[in-house]
Amino acid sequence: MNGGILSRAMAAALAVTALPAATSPAQRPAPVRATNVILVTLDGLRWQEVFAGADSALLADTTTTRDRTAGERYWRPTPDERRRALMPFFWKVLAPQGQVFGDRPAGGGMRVTNGRKFSYPGYQEMLAGYPDSVIDSNAKTPNPNVTVLEWLLTRPGFAGHIAVFGTWDVFPFIVNEERSGIPVNAGWEPLVLRLPTPGQTLLNSLMETLPRIWEGERYDALTYQAAREYVIAERPNVLYLALGETDDWAHEDRYDRYLDAARNGDAFIRDLWDTLQADPRYRHRTALIVTTDHGRGSGRAGWSRHGASVADAEWVWAAVLGPDTPARGSRTDVTDATQAQIAATIAALLGEDYVAAQPRAAPPLPGVVP
């Protein structure tokens, strides 16, 4: 899951549209039940950067931070300033208007329970609500478990209104596209819409012509723009957007590009949120969950790695924003949240009880739905 440097013309063609700023709490109408949920994952983005911003030692290391202008973009005197520089939408809108889990520096905690600490087991735990020891690799094997997305298709009003967009081409297997019938656009797969659009044509042309650093993983900018085009054209109730460059650049030991990928991901989330808030179908009726599939190690030797043997790679984070979610900021009172709680949280935000249907699933994150 990786990204490269787009040409200036390509970057301009894919530039996100400037839209109004997110609504402040004072401008919100009376709370209503969410009818839409957007799940966004930033693959392998560490809690260290989410809560404290750029790491000074890694920024100073010229082997992992080859772009010497990265310090100007991301270094600030305090952790709060650094995290705002890295993820401004997350810390200026999402956190103060919603809830954030996993703030270890402040005493909070959130972890994976699958023991593997890498992608497919993490996404399985996140989407099904429980770990499964059968999922022990990143191989393209159809998930035998029914995810919350597939289960929602059985609930009134959701059939035909759920979609997945992923940078990584394993996502059709993670959500078992063949069995579930959920449309999944991932890897270098062209975008297909019922009514073709100029944006669709441009994106598909770019995917045919751009150089591929990793064969099964496209650039996050393409994944996001494809998802955005789909939302505007098809108007789903549930969208899962899985970005991947944070993990790719970390595995390449490129801390500078890892930070850039996190910052770009934050900008994509901001643009998507503002796009939804500008549409009466979604405005004040949409919940947003942002999280990750696994953590990473610590220090110069460990930051780029994860897996069962890597200490600290079990620690993750999540944030929830929506019309039903009280604004409580960083949940330092929650020290034992788990990745498995995301599935039931998605359902609960839509007024559905996933745990009743799947007793193996963990309960929703506490306090996100009154």
Cβ-in-10-Å burial (0-12, 13-18, 19+) of 36 comes to buried
The structure's pTM equals 0.92
Q: Strand 286-291 vs strand 318-321: parallel, antiparallel, or unpaired? A: antiparallel
Domain of 270 in residue numbering reads as 32-357
CATH number (domain holding residue 73): 3.40.720.10
Q: Which two tokens stand for residue 76?
A: 């600030």
Does some domain include residue 156? yes
Do 334 and 366 touch, CB atoms closer than 8 A? Answer: yes
Write the CB contacts of 69 (distance below 8 Å, at least 6 apart in sequence): none
Do 91 and 76 touch, CB atoms closer than 8 A? Answer: no
Q: Which two tokens stand for residue 253?
A: 């030991």
Cβ-in-10-Å burial (0-12, 13-18, 19+) of 349 comes to buried
Does some domain include residue 19? no
Does some domain include residue 207? yes
H/E element holding 321? Answer: strand 318-321
In tens, the pLDDT along 10-63 reads: 443 444 333 334 444 444 444 468 999 999 999 999 999 999 999 999 999 999
Does some domain include residue 15? no
In tens, the pLDDT along 86-127 reads: 999 999 999 999 999 999 999 999 999 999 999 999 999 999
In tens, the pLDDT along 190-211 reads: 999 999 999 999 999 999 999 9
Strand partners, 165: 185, 241
Does some domain include residue 289? yes
Does some domain include residue 134? yes
Do 122 and 308 touch, CB atoms closer than 8 A? Answer: no
In tens, the pLDDT along 282-322 reads: 999 999 999 999 999 999 999 999 999 999 999 999 999 99
**Alpha-helical regions (H) of 16-143:** 47-52, 56-60, 70-74, 79-86, 88-89, 95-97, 119-128
Do 263 and 225 touch, CB atoms closer than 8 A? Answer: no
Number of domains in the chain: 1
Does some domain include residue 366? no
Does some domain include residue 285? yes
Please tell me the predicted confidence (pLDDT) of residue 17.
Answer: 35
Q: Which two tokens stand for residue 45?
A: 């983005």
